[in-house]
Structure 1
Amino acid sequence: MLKVQEIRELIKLVDQSSIDEFVYENEGSKIKMKKTGSVTVSTVQPAVHAAPEAVQQVPVPAAPAAPVQVVKQDAPQAEPASSAHTENLHKITSPMVGTFYASPSPDADAYVTTGSKVSKDSIVCIVEAMKLFNEIEAEVNGEIVEVLVKDGQLVEYGQPLFLVKPE
């Protein structure tokens, strides 16, 4: 079985690649990763079978004759309103689906708040997935400009958690 750090590395590699889906199986364990936010459109049209001598032109309506099925996967939550405001900011994103915790325990202070200074290896929060508490690091030196999620909120893979003004 892969270790949590190895899974994180796989997530980063899949995220940075152009593939949309990744499946890994080994010794009865299976990991399946699928990028979110993509839209798949499928159009089904009936097949027309006719004898060659009976072929005739049939007017095609503007809309498809068969139903069109649109499947939309959940996209990460909306970014803050001003794109110019976030243009030069680093986004700390969730490396997995889970529950966001701002502090190490319910009675402790939050790891960081707006205005907190962080370094690359500073722990900024915990994302809990399947009873595993994963510490999330800042990945950049700077100052926390905005906390984008609330304590106890469910987060998606790739969802921005914090905005950091890099130094």
Structure 2
Amino acid sequence: MRIREYTEADWAQVRPILTEVIEAGDTFPYDPAWPSEVLHDVWVERPPGLTVVAEADGRILGTAKAGPNKPGPGSHVASASYMVPAAARGQGVGRALVEHTLDWARRQGYAAMQFNAVAESNTVAVRLYRRLGFTVIGTVPQAFAHPTLGRVGLHVMHRFL
């Protein structure tokens, strides 16, 4: 598996990944009714951000995006998001994408990385982020409408780089 920068030619494989994850409704606070153009605009980062794909044998196994968490005075803190389809989970794709974005953020001079909305019910992601040095600095109660668990908290997670 290699991680490389996203190109527009990748959209045909990236879009179904985003659609699968968003339609599951259990991890991302994105609207499944968004048309492809809106989804593209939300996912594909513009400079100074980064969008990447994890690829093996011409097949995209996952995708990530990273960039400044906020503009101006908050631009020294990075944020990132990751999507891996069910068929590729458990193969280290998510971990590789997180490590890649952390390395990228360090090289870009960011001081820290912050995730603004990690569903507390997404225990696999929370466990991975903790293993990679993130801590939960707060939880917004009942901020995410999980399709089977009802309203669950959204963690804000952070680590210095």
Q: Give the TM bin, normalised by the shorter chain.
A: under 0.3
Q: Which has the higher helix share?
A: 2
Give the TM-score taking structure 1 as reference length.
Answer: 0.27
Structure of larger gyration radius: 1
